[in-house]
Structure 1
Amino acid sequence: MTATSSGLVASSHTLTLHRNGTFERTGWSGASMANEIGGSQSGVTTSSNRPGASGRYKLSGYRLDLTDASGRTKP
């Protein structure tokens, strides 16, 4: 009996900084998996978009702080 398994994970994230001090963040993630056991195959594929975010940014030296529309700041 032969058993094989394979998988793939991919993601893309984009952060756009505008000169007026605002930012936009978008992205997606996906995964795929396949199995074969004794000639029987099964698999699953899934993907989703990351919820977009926007707000204001502040650059201070090497530190970038992002403040979203709800007021939360992430360094």
Structure 2
Amino acid sequence: MTAPDDPRFEWIDVSDLGGPVTWMRGACRHRRPVEFRSVVDDELLAHLCLDCDEQLDVTPKPVLSPIGEP
């Protein structure tokens, strides 16, 4: 059995030797971050990952890779 077909996350094989194939969702790849800007002066405050709700730093800017690429 292959990993689940969800490119947003890393998938970890946690099968026991000889047991059924089991996958655990790993770290988010932050593929769709959005910018959070100040309403006062339009300053970029942070990036927010829509998949895992994690706030990402302003610098360095997250790499936006197409869905389906690691």
Same fold (TM over 0.5): no
Taking structure 1 as the reference length, the TM-score comes to 0.29
Q: Which has the larger radius of gyration?
A: 1
Say which structure is richer in strand.
1
Alignment TM-score, normalising by the size of structure 2: 0.30
